Chains A and B, each alone.
Chain A
Amino acid sequence: MRALLTVAHLTIHEAGRRRILLATVIGGAGFVALYATGFHFIVRDMRSHGGLDGLQTRLTLTFFTLAGLYGANFLAVMTAVLLPVDTLSGEIGSGVLQTLASKPVRRSDILLGKWLAFVTIALVYLAVLASGVLLAAKLHAGTLPPNIGRGLALMALEVTLMVTLSIVGGTRLSTITNGVMVFGLYGLAFIGSWVERIGTVAGNHAAERIGTLASLLVPSESMWLLAAHLMQPGFMRGLEITPFTAGLAPSPAMVWWAAGYTLAALLLAIYWFRRRPL
């Protein structure tokens, strides 16, 4: 445990020294500032056109809040993939890991220490971005989406899954190949969810099944869709498809699938890293 925490500490320290944290703070602050500014002007315009109480207005504001959360989720997912993408492959190539692995520590502690650090950074980033979006919504529109806690927990699970996939790839692949593969998987899940939704709406079972299969293969996008479903008011759920919301929510069983998937991926990473010649 001590070695695990030592490695985690070094990894977070590294993110600080290499200005990765600074870059995420600047990027995140820019995102939230832009979003809040946009929100401000939209709300100002709405107030001048008859107030914020009409159904259409409420719909627009909720839609804009969900769009902000989608942006936060997307940025956090990108960060989750990029942060650990070269932590194993890069350090094996530079010889850093050989020095570490010759110490009296388990390889699993090295891997889990890094995983813990990157998950922590990515989740803090997600929390900061999402809080910024929700704060802007509360300040400007005076409302918050329902089920925020559950929604954010699902987004956190997606981010954790993406960090884990990036680490799994790093045990076997070079940095570039790993990045291409993990983003490819993310894209697969994204497009799979659209195929599934359109297939469902159109009553096309083949498309629906392909989409479901893609979601099972990489359950990242399903977590966002479920979160978006929970965080929209009841009257919006009947709208079926908008770019940032899900009229047709994935089954809650997908949460268990995604959690089990993440755990299995982490165990696979440990297994591969222990056998990896250094």
Chain B
Amino acid sequence: MSERVIETRGLRKRFGNKVAVADLSLFVGPGEVFGFLGPNGAGKTTSLKMLLGLIEPSAGTARVLGAPLGDRRARAGVGFLPEHFRFHDWLTGRELLHFHGRLYGLSGPALRSRIEELLERMDLVEARDRALRHYSKGMLQRVGLAQALLNEPRVVFLDEPTSGLDPLGRLLVRDVIRELKSRGTAVFLNSHLLGEIEATCDRVVFLKAGRTVRELDLRGRVDRLEVELRLQGADAATLSGLDQFGRRIEADGERVRLELADEERLPEIAAYLVERGVRLYGMHAARPSLERVFLEVMGEEGRPG
């Protein structure tokens, strides 16, 4: 438990009669990039705010960096980029970072060099002495990311970090997340962009109607696989024989899609088909896309329109 950067059990938040978060139970390990997924109104932002000590939970227990929620000393190891980062628009980028650095307890040459380093990393060197009101949306988001990293945090909370960013900006955020991970910083990523999550996260948790309903490990080990076979000359008996390897999702004679428990089934399927004289033209195995899993978890009833 002490190794966990974030751990929550049955965290709950009620506003009057409305339950915003019913049961948040999750953990994040050191250096882990953790994706927090759910549709609008599922309680993601409220959950994030509870973890940051901005909102007090109604029930449940949680620890961030080993301390109870809202602990001031623990916050010295936390970075936070809110969605649509905004700050006093009359400050310049450098002044903004200087101010936040001081709130983290940094000062002097150490703070100045950290600021220069981050301005460089976020590609804001030229804009550093311009007022924030002259920044584009993407630049604001990047300076917001810089302020979240001033203290070299042990855990960073990013709420929709790529919103408003162009493709190059998104790549930059993705690279920064990788760098953080390589330094052992945990990243708690709240994003709607499933492609983004898929590309960066080690593990995701799905939040539905205020409850953590499912967890998915996106690292190396594959716990569910979809395989698409292109074949000719398979009779009905051979096709139904495929059921011993996994669940048939689709079969139209020449194209068969199966869901498998693990990839050890792949060579067995190939051998089975070849033994029966079936001509195998293609065999493409892939993890089901996060979008597909998301729709499965949330159910069709959640789809608008």
Contacts and interface: CB of A to CB of B under 8 A. Distances in A.
Contacts, number: 66
Contacts of B54: 98, 101-102, 277-278
B86 A96 contact: yes
Interface string A8-43: 001000100110000000000000000000000000
Contacts of A268: none
A3 interface: yes
Interface in B78-118: 78, 80, 82, 84-88, 90-91, 99-100, 102-105
B161 to A, nearest CB: 14
A102 B78 contact: yes
Contacts of B88: 10, 14, 96
Nearest to A96: B87
B90 A105 contact: no
A95 B55 contact: no
Nearest to B78: A102
A100 interface: yes
Interface in A250-278: 275, 277-278
A15 to B, nearest CB: 11
A6 B102 contact: yes
B18 interface: no
A14 B82 contact: no
B208 interface: no
A100 B90 contact: no
A2 B105 contact: yes
Contacts of B100: 99, 103
A230 B93 CA distance: 51
B181 interface: no
Contacts of B144: 99
A95 B86 contact: yes
In this complex, which of A95, A104, A105 has the most chain B Cβ atoms within 10 angstroms of its Cβ?
A104
A18 B88 CA distance: 10
A94 interface: yes
Interface in B146-193: 147
Contact of A2 (B84, B86, B102): B102
Interface residues of B, number: 29
Contacts of A275: 56
B137 interface: no
A99 B85 contact: yes
Nearest to B88: A14
A267 to B, nearest CB: 19
Nearest to B107: A2
Interface in A94-126: 94-96, 98-106
Interface in B5-56: 15, 49, 52-56
Nearest to A105: B103
Given A99-B147, A104-B72, A104-B104, A94 B86 contact: yes
A102 B53 contact: yes
Nearest to B79: A102
Contact of B99 (A6, A18, A277): A6
Interface string B113-150: 00000000000000000000000000000001001000
B52 A104 contact: no
Nearest to A17: B90
B239 to A, nearest CB: 57
Contacts of A100: 103
Contacts of A98: 49, 52, 54, 80, 82
Contacts of A99: 80, 82, 85, 87, 100, 144, 147
A96 B80 CA distance: 12
B73 interface: yes
6 contacts: A3-B102, A10-B88, A14-B88, A98-B80, A99-B85, A103-B103
Given A2-B105, A18-B90, A98-B49, 6 more contacts: A6-B103, A14-B88, A95-B84, A99-B87, A104-B72, A104-B75
Lowest 10 CB-CB distances: which A-B pairs, in order?
A104-B76, A103-B103, A17-B90, A104-B75, A278-B54, A102-B80, A277-B55, A6-B102, A102-B52, A104-B72
